[in-house]
Amino acid sequence: MSIPSNLKTAFCCALAYTVLVAPCCAEDIPALFSTPTTTRTEWEAARRPQLIAQFERTMFGQTPRIDASNVRFERLEMSQDLLKGTACKQKIRIHYTVSGSTPTSFDVLAVYPKTAKPVPVFLEMSINYPGAYDETLTTPCSYWPAEQIVKRGYAALIFNYTNAAPDDAKAFFDWKAKTWKQAETPNTAPFSAISIWAWSISRVIDWIATEPAFDAQRIAVVGFSRGGKTALWAGAQDPRVALTISCCSGSGGAKLIHQALPQSETIEHLVTRFPHWFTPNYAAYAHREKEAPFDMHQLLALVAPRLLYISSATEDRWAGPEGEFASCLRAAPAWSLYTKTGFTAQTFPAANTPLHDASIGYHLRKGPHLLTEYDWHCYLDFADRHLK
């Protein structure tokens, strides 16, 4: 006897629901909206600010605030004859001083097509993976395929995260004490490294807005792994990020906290190995994930109604791909408040079948924890379709 195709589809949906969503029991996961009938006005005036405050308090700490007059841009290098004369390159240094503290700076590299019209931008915060990027563009590099990005009509900007703030607990706390003296408001959660890296992304966007070569309305921010966690926090807070792209961000990133997946990272792992990434309050949820009054679909929803892209990898069990996908499903209703379609997928996709038809893009790449050329093709295709 053959089974009718609508029954097969219903069975597949039920199976996917059981595998992906049910393990974290719908009722355990904190709601996205304060009431099921939330409107856009209520979301913007009340729920959204409440969720930002919640992520500051429980995960990332307060976002540093300094006056724009304390930030300055210095051009270190400019050349017009890159990539056989088709592209330009600039290197800039962003200087800032917090009152009473040691001045500091970090560098940004920009490569962009030589055109009369301002171009959209891909800004990456690079983490220290071997061969993460080559400033001379002579060695092809999958973490930052600048030449491909430029050929597709985008500017490729990059900065190294440890140049912006150290990624070692002791070095970070020492640096913060020297550089950010008196900048923290008492009685609020202390800044974390992720909050400072996300703040640095926003300072690069300040520079982008001053440069006529770039279209500041069309900025994509890209991050991989810990950089992907940071991209989400930057995209949630800075409305100038038109497309937030988070690759393999896992726990502390896109993966749902309430969804325990056997081989994936826990809060205990995160706060033990990387105590500086988060504000100290986050450690309270180690071994108590199910009691967390928040979850990561709420962070993803803070990007709405702007574009979001989450990608996972089949062998990246540590990041929990199913939990990254389930977060997208649960964040999608925030886009409906703006009469946009958040996500059309219902079931976990097969590997290498990108989902690009809604405001949240998603793909599951075959392979391990990496940022590859395939990922970049998908991001650029999604940007061609929705951002250009």
How near is the Cβ of 227 to ligand GCU at its closest, in Å?
Answer: 7
Quote the CA–CA distance of 193 and 331 in Å, as a whole number: 25
Angle at 86 between CA 84 and CA 88, to 5 degrees: 105
Task: With contacts defined by CB under 6 A, name the span among 116-124, 213-221, 246-254, 352-360 that binds ligand GCU.
Answer: 246-254
Residues 88-127, mask of contacts with ligand GCU (x by CB under 6 A): ---------------------------------------x
Q: Which is nearer to ligand GCU, 120 or 227 (CB)?
A: 227
Q: State the DSSP string of 53-100.
A: HHHIIIII-PPP---GGGEEEEEEEEEEEETTTTEEEEEEEEEE--TT
71-82 β-sheet, strand order: 71-82, 87-96, 104-113, 155-160, 119-126, 214-224, 243-247, 307-313, 360-365
Identify the sign of the CA torsion 209, 213, 214, 217.
positive
Report 302-321 residues binding ligand GCU (CB under 6 A).
Answer: 318
How near is the Cβ of 135 to ligand GCU at its closest, in Å?
Answer: 22
250 touches ligand GCU (CB under 6 A):
yes
How near is the Cβ of 80 to ligand GCU at its closest, in Å?
Answer: 36
Q: Which is nearer to ligand GCU, 157 or 313 (CB)?
A: 313
Q: Are strands 119-126 and 155-160 parallel, antiparallel or unpaired?
A: parallel
297 touches ligand GCU (CB under 6 A):
no
Quote the CA–CA distance of 330 and 328 in Å, as a whole number: 5
Question: Binder to ligand GCU among 225, 244, 246, 359 (CB under 6 A)?
Answer: 225
The residue written with tokens 């996709």 in the block is 349
Q: Which is nearer to ligand GCU, 127 or 216 (CB)?
A: 127
How near is the Cβ of 314 to ligand GCU at its closest, in Å?
Answer: 16
Q: State the DSSP string of 16-51.
A: HIIIIIGGG-GGGSPPSSSSTT--HHHIIIIIHHHH
Contact in structure between 287 and 184 (CB atoms under 8 Å): no
Report 253-272 residues binding ligand GCU (CB under 6 A).
Answer: 265
375 touches ligand GCU (CB under 6 A):
no
Report 124-163 residues binding ligand GCU (CB under 6 A).
Answer: 127
Q: Which is nearer to ligand GCU, 250 or 323 (CB)?
A: 250
Could you tell me how many residues of this chain bind ligand GCU (CB under 6 A)?
8
Torsion of CA 255, 259, 261, 267, to 10 degrees: 70
How near is the Cβ of 127 to ligand GCU at its closest, in Å?
Answer: 6
Q: Determine how many CB atoms are found less than 10 A away from the CB of residue 229.
A: 30
Q: Which is nearer to ligand GCU, 125 or 329 (CB)?
A: 125
Quote the CA–CA distance of 165 and 102 in Å, as a whole number: 13
226 touches ligand GCU (CB under 6 A):
yes
Task: With contacts defined by CB under 6 A, name the span among 234-242, 248-256, 304-312, 340-348 that binds ligand GCU.
Answer: 248-256
Interacting residue ranges for ligand GCU, rule: CB under 6 A: 127, 225-226, 250-252, 265, 318
